[in-house]
Amino acid sequence: IINSLKKLKEIIKNLALKYENLVMMGRTHGIFAEPITFGLKLLSFYCEIDRNIVRLERAKEEISYGKISGAVGTYSTLNPEIEKEVLKRLNLKVEPVSTQIVPRDRYAYLITICAIIASSFERIATEIRNLQRSEIDEVREPFLEKQKGSSAMPHKRNPILCERIVSLARYVRSLIFPTLENISLWHERDLTNSANERLVFPHTLILLHYISERMIFIFNNLKVNEDKIKENIGKAKELYYSSLLLILLMKKGLKRSFAYDLVQKLSFLAMEENKSFLEIVKKDEEIKKYLSEEELNQFLDLKYLLRNVKEIFKRVLKEEV
C-alpha cells in the first residue's frame, strides 16, 4: 500500500506541475467562489497523500510488535531472551508488557489510519465525480473503448470507478468500529476479538490497496477538458472580484457594512442582467467616487488574484518548482 501511495503521489505531482497555471473556478457550497488553478487543486491531493504515507508508515511501526511471553505474559515457561531472539528474526520488537496477546490498541490504530486514507480517497473521487457532472464537465475519469456507461442510455459516461472507490471507502471506514471494540478484552484475554479480526484485517488492507491502484489508473488516464474549464470561468461573469473589490473600498475608508452592501447590489445586478460584473462596477457612480478605472484594472485582474499560487507550489514542492 505504501508503495502504491508513493507512486500515486508522484503521478499527481507531475499533473499538478503540468496544470499549475490552468485557471479554473473555485467553488464553495457548490457555488462559484474565486478562481483557483487546477494544478493547485491537484497539489492539495498531493499533500494529503503525502500525509497519509507518513501516517501509514507510523502505523506499520506501531504494529511491528510481538510476544512469546506465555499464557498471561509472565514468561512462566520461557526465558525472555528466547522471545527477543525470535522476534528479532521476524523484524518485530518485543511488546513491553503483554498478556496472552499483543494489546489491541495497536491494531485499532492501524485500521483507523487505513480508514482515514480511504476517506481521503473518497474526497478525491468525489471531487472528480462532481467535476464530471454534465453541467460542469471539466474533468473525466478514464472511459475505455468498449465500455458501457448505462445499460439503458448509450450516451452516458458514468464515473463508475470513482463511485466504486467511494463505496469501498465507506465500507473500510465502517471497520474501525469492531477494532475499537476489540481493545477492551476481559482480563488477560478472551476471544471476542478473534472472529472479526479474521475479516477486518484482510478486508481493510486488500481493499485499501485495490483503491490505491484504481486511483493510479484514474490519474494516469485523467481527461482534463480545458475548453470547458475556460467556458465555466466565463459563466462567472467576473463576479469573483467581489471580495477583492470589497477590500479595496474598505482601504479607501468605507465602513465594511456600507462597502459590502454596495458590492452585493452590483453583484446581484450583474447576475440579473447577465452582464459583466466589471463592466457594471466601472460604470457605477458610487464606485467612481472611491476608485479610478486605473485602480480597478490594476487589482481586479486574474493574475493579481492568483499571484501567490507560485509561492504555494514552492512551499510544497521546493526544489521541483
Question: pLDDT tens, 182-241?
Answer: 999 999 999 999 999 999 999 999 999 999 999 999 999 999 999 999 999 999 999 999
**Would you say residue 278 has pLDDT above 80?**
yes
- At residue 241, what is the residue type? Y
What CATH architecture does domain 237-315 belong to?
Answer: Orthogonal Bundle (1.10)
**Would you say residue 321 has pLDDT above 60?**
no
Range 45-63 average pLDDT = 98
Q: Is 150 a catalytic residue?
A: yes
Provide the mean pLDDT of the chain. Answer: 94
CA angle (207 as vertex; 205, 208 as ends), nearest 5: 65
Domain 2-67+102-144+155-228, classified CATH 1.20.200.10, yes or no: yes
Q: Is 29 a catalytic residue?
A: yes
**Cell numbers that stand for 154 in this block:** 448509450
Which residue of the set 64, 150, 174, 292 is catalytic?
A: 150
- Number of C-beta neighbours around residue 212 at 10 A: 23
Rounded CA-CA distance 93/111 in Å is: 20
Range 157-185 average pLDDT = 96
Domain positions in the chain:
2-67+102-144+155-228, 237-315
**Cell numbers that stand for 82 in this block:** 528466547
Could you tell me the pTM of the whole model?
Answer: 0.91
Q: What is the pLDDT of residue 154?
A: 74
- Rama region for 296: left / alpha / beta (φ>0; ψ in -120 to 50; rest): alpha
Taking the CA atoms of residue 202, residue 207, residue 210 and residue 216 in that order, the dihedral angle to the nearest 10 degrees is -130
Which residue of the set 29, 76, 151, 257 is catalytic?
A: 29
Q: How confident is the model at residue 145 (pLDDT cuts 50, 70, 90)?
A: confident
Q: Which residue blocks in the chain are alpha helix, DSSP H?
A: 2-18, 38-62, 80-89, 105-132, 160-174, 176-181, 194-220, 226-235, 242-251, 256-273, 277-283, 285-288, 293-299, 302-305, 309-317
